[in-house]
Structures are given as structure tokens and as C-alpha cells.
Amino acid sequence: GAGVSQSPSNKVTEKGKDVELRCDPISGHTALYWYRQSLGQGLEFLIYFQGNSAPDKSGLPSDRFSAERTGGSVSTLTIQRTQQEDSAVYLCASSFSPGQGAYEQYFGPGTRLTVT
Amino acid sequence: AQSVTQLDSQVPVFEEAPVELRCNYSSSVSVYLFWYVQYPNQGLQLLLKYLSGSTLVKGINGFEAEFNKSQTSFHLRKPSVHISDTAEYFCAVRVGSGNTGKLIFGQGTTLQVKP
């Protein structure tokens, strides 16, 4: 079946602009995660959605970052007033409910964000 | 706080030689351990996972890993590597069995297989 898809694959934006990154999880997966992969920081957890529960936002680096998940499926990560340090690859992953013993996360190909 | 340390940032090895990629974690509670591989310009793919039971875990592409609780290690091994194994490898830990499934990753190890 189809895997996790992300769009766009590449995004170049000017400093100060807002950007939206999209993630389509695997059908039936109730859990969705965003991670950021950058040269200096490695792979960092950003935010986690599980069903209708309040999201775990503990990894968001600043209030310029926000995310939503509509209808329990597609998610959008928004970065406002982008800064050069936001340049990174943003990875989305999905899984069945981790509370029910599902441990494997399936990753999308990522969105490479470059802030000039 | 939980952390994962991958002891080698780069590991060069010749084709058909054995390889070990080292991973140590810090956690005082039960953990679930994973190795992911990332080929150039691709997302992460799960190689193998340790949840419980046998400490020797076999994964895809001939890789295996051994969980050592006393040494808090989860090293990845392959007895004979191929050029196609050239990639970046990430060790990750999920802490506890609660509802949050977030992973904490190591910094990654680049495996460079030379002909």
C-alpha cells in the first residue's frame, strides 16, 4: 500500500516568510509524528498526534512552530517568520496507536526546507 | 533525561568485511530500541527493533543487534557488508510503555563501504 507522503519535497523560502509543510500518513494509522533533521542537531522530535487526544508539543523549538491534524489524517506543520536556523529536513512518521503496542514508525521521504 | 549515543560518526569498511556500529543509551526505565537506516535523499527505514525477549535481534538485509542491559548498549552488526549498505544508520530509543511513542535518536553513523 501507499506509504507516508510529504509535500513539497523541497522548499526554498526567504527569511521572515511563513511556510506550510504537509504530511499524509498511512491510511489507518492513528499516530503521527513530526521530526526535524539538521546538521547540527541530528534528528529531533517536534510534535506527536494520537487520535483525538491533545498533541504532545514538547519538542517544538519556539512559538513560531505549530502543527495541526485535520480529521485524524493529514497534518500540516507551519513555521512562521522563518529563520535561517529553521533550514533542515522535516520528517513525518505515522504508526498504529503506540498505546496498543504498536512500535514501528513509518517515515516519509521528508521536506527539505532552505531559508535564505 | 533519556539519551542515545552513537560512538562513531563515520565507519569506513571494505566490501565483504564485518562491521559493528555502536550505540549506547541512558535510561533507568524499560526501553524499546531501534535501528533505522537512511539511504541518500530518502526517509528512514526500520532495520530491526528490540522490544523484549531474546537479546539477539535479527533484522532486514542481514543485520542483527544485541541488547545488553548491563552495558546499556544495542550495537548493530553485519558479518559481511555490501556496497549497497552505504548509508547513514540511526539508533533510537522509545522510553516506557505509555501512550507516547516518540523516539529519541542518536546522532547517526555514516557507514562507507569501499570496494
- With cut-offs at 50, 70 and 90, classify the pLDDT of residue B76: very high
Angstrom distance (rounded) from CA A62 to CA A80: 10
Chain A residue numbers with beta carbons less than 8 Å from the beta carbon of B44 are 91, 93, 107
Angstrom distance (rounded) from CA B92 to CA A3: 21
Mean pLDDT by 10 residues, chain A (116 residues): 90 98 94 91 90 88 94 93 96 84 85 96
Are A18 and A82 contacting, i.e. CB atoms less than 8 angstroms apart?
Answer: yes
3-state secondary structure of A73: coil
CB B53: neighbour CB atoms within 10 A? Answer: 8
Are A12 and A116 contacting, i.e. CB atoms less than 8 angstroms apart?
Answer: yes
- With cut-offs at 50, 70 and 90, classify the pLDDT of residue B9: very high
CA distance B78 to chain A (A): 22
